[in-house]
Structure 1
Amino acid sequence: MKSILESRPKLAKQVADVAEVAGYLWQKGWAERNGGNITVNVTELADDEIKALPAISEKVQIGNMLPHLKGCYFFCKGTNKRMRDLARWPMENGSFIRICDNCASYEIIADNPVKPTSELASHLSMHNYLIGSGSNYKAVVHTHPIDLVAMTHNPAFLKKDVLTKLLWSMIPETRAFCPKGLGIIPYALPSSFELADATVKQLEEYDVVMWEKHGVCSVSENVMEAFDMIDTLSKSAQIYLTAKSMGFEPEGLSDVLMEELKVAFNLPK
């Protein structure tokens, strides 16, 4: 069967980027077994031939009405698929889906009938919010960074912006490249609409959201930028935890120095 990627270099690049990031997530130890998910909005790359493709699956109910996604197309990691396999064989471990006209169901159109991520409701809710808010963000990455998840087991870090300010203070790059900080969502059942709704609410203020005792979700213009924000936050967490393991509380950048960074880089918060 002809691949949807043939003669479509821009679409192939999107899938290659997803595969590359999937490899990074696995190498970092953030993607145990089938842990983590990636979805990318590729609607702008859907030509007339793609739009005419027949479904290769039954229509599947999303479980929610998502009005801004009508006719949208996404590349999604498959459910129960491993990041290490997505990195090597993206078209065997992911699929392209089309949101149906009722905005409440989807169908797989290529290349294989790989059922999308179990967190699809959360991901599509985020994409629906992003489109509705006029954002140019196209990528959602969810993964399980060991250091960041560990920090959510301390109730003191779960208060609003406590972890943001701590991680910002560990290294200047975090303040510069994660300028909105880190939102926090109290524990909710994975794959639930409760988690999806809470995540969308946090995206009104943040680009990276921490799911307590679970993982991180990041949104950005592309999958590389979404990964980079998580990677940068993780570096700060590692610096903090390394200092603590050496027996001292890290001093961190002062409020004066962080304000200096805010002015120098014209940061929003």
Structure 2
Amino acid sequence: MKSILENRPELARQVAEVAEVAGYLWQKGWAERNGGNITVNVTAHIDDAVRALPAISEVRLIGTVLPHLKGCYFFCKGTNRRMRDLARRPMENGAVIRILDDCASYEIVADNPVPPTSELPAHLSMHDKMIADGKGYTAALHTHPIELVALSHNPAFLEKDVLTNLLWSMIPETRAFCPKGLGIVRYEMPSTLQLAQATIRELADYDVVMWEKHGVCAVGPDIMEAFDFVDVLSKSAQIYLTARSMGFEPEGMSRRQMDELKEAFNL
């Protein structure tokens, strides 16, 4: 069967970047078994021939109405599929879906009828907000960074911006490259609309959101940028926990030093 990627270099590049990031997540230990999800809005790379493709699945409900997604196309990691397999064979472990005109349902159009991630309501809700915001963001990533999840087990770190300021203070690059910090969503059952709605509220102020005792979600202009947000925050968490394991509380940068960074980098 001919792949949807054939003769569509930009679409193929988008899927290749997803595969590359999936490999990084597995290598870092952030994607155990089928853990984590990736969705990318690929509508800009869809031509009339793809729009004319028949569905290869039944129509499925999203669970909510997302008015900005009418007619959009997404590449999605498949549910119960492993990141390490997505890295090697993306079109066998993910699929392209089309959002229908009711903005409440979707169908799979290519290459295989691989059902998308169980977190699809949260992911598509994030994409709906990104389109509404008009910032040009196209990617949403959910993963399980070990050190960040560990920090979320401390209630003190779940207060607004406590963890943001701690992580910013560990190394200057974090303040520079993740300038909005880290939003917090208190524990919600995975794959629920409640989790999706709580995440959307936090994305009004942040590009990365911690799901308590679960993982993080990041959005960005592309999947590499979304990954980078999580990567720099995770590095700061590693520095903090390494210092604690050495028997001392790390001093961190002062508020004055962080304000200097904000001015220098026009954050």
Q: TM-score, normalised by structure 1?
A: 0.99
Q: What is the aligned partner in structure 2 of residue 81 from structure 1?
A: 81
Matched residue of 1:227: which SS? Answer: helix
Q: What is the aligned partner in structure 2 of residue 100 from structure 1?
A: 100
Q: What is the aligned partner in structure 2 of residue 46 from structure 1?
A: 46
Query: Which letter does structure 2 place at the counterpart of 1:115?
Result: P
Q: CA deviation at 1:27?
A: 0.4
Query: Which letter does structure 2 place at the counterpart of 1:36?
Result: G
Identity %: 75
Distance in 1 of aligned mates of 2:159 and 2:108: 40
Could you list the per-position Cα deviations for residues 16-70 of structure 1 after superposition, in whole angstroms to 9, with x for gaps in the alignment? 0000000000000000000000000001111111111110000000110011000
Q: What is the aligned partner in structure 2 of residue 178 from structure 1?
A: 178
Return 127-136 or 230-239, whichever deviates more: 127-136
Query: Which letter does structure 2 place at the counterpart of 1:265?
Result: F
Matched residue of 1:188: which SS? Answer: coil
Q: Does 1:256 align with 2:256?
A: yes
Distance in 2 of aligned mates of 1:87 and 1:254: 40
CA RMSD, 1 decimal: 0.4
Mind listing any 5+ residue stretches in structure 2 that lack a counterpart? Answer: none
Distance in 1 of aligned mates of 2:242 and 2:38: 29
Q: What is the aligned partner in structure 1 of residue 115 from structure 2?
A: 115
Q: What is the aligned partner in structure 1 of residue 139 from structure 2?
A: 139
Matches within 5 A, 1:1-269: 1-267=1-267
Could you list the per-position Cα deviations for residues 222-241 of structure 1 after superposition, in whole angstroms to 9, with x for gaps in the alignment? 00000011000000000000
Could you list the per-position Cα deviations for residues 185-224 of structure 1 after superposition, in whole angstroms to 9, with x for gaps in the alignment? 0000000000000000100000000000000000000000
Query: Which letter does structure 1 place at the counterpart of 2:125?
Result: S
Matched residue of 2:18: which SS? Answer: helix
Q: CA deviation at 1:135?
A: 2.1
Distance in 2 of aligned mates of 1:249 and 1:133: 39
Q: CA deviation at 1:136?
A: 0.5
Q: Which ranges of 4 or more aligned residues in structure 1 deviate by more than 3 Å?
A: none
Query: How many correspondences in the alignment?
Result: 267
Mind listing any 5+ residue stretches in structure 1 that lack a counterpart? Answer: none
Query: Which letter does structure 2 place at the counterpart of 1:171?
Result: I
Could you list the per-position Cα deviations for residues 49-104 of structure 1 after superposition, in whole angstroms to 9, with x for gaps in the alignment? 11111100000001100110000000000000000000000000000000000100
Distance in 1 of aligned mates of 2:204 and 2:63: 22
Matched residue of 2:3: which SS? Answer: coil
Matched residue of 1:187: which SS? Answer: coil
Distance in 1 of aligned mates of 2:63 and 2:164: 33
Query: Which letter does structure 1 place at the counterpart of 2:156?
Result: A
Distance in 2 of aligned mates of 1:12 and 1:33: 25
Query: Which letter does structure 1 place at the counterpart of 2:146?
Result: I
Distance in 1 of aligned mates of 2:234 and 2:157: 15
Distance in 2 of aligned mates of 1:23 and 1:74: 20
Distance in 1 of aligned mates of 2:133 and 2:88: 34
Q: CA deviation at 1:133?
A: 1.7
Could you list the per-position Cα deviations for residues 155-210 of structure 1 after superposition, in whole angstroms to 9, with x for gaps in the alignment? 00000000000000000000000000000000000000000000001000000000
Distance in 1 of aligned mates of 2:249 and 2:133: 40
Matched residue of 1:140: which SS? Answer: strand
Matched residue of 1:142: which SS? Answer: strand
Distance in 2 of aligned mates of 1:90 and 1:191: 22
Q: CA deviation at 1:132?
A: 1.2
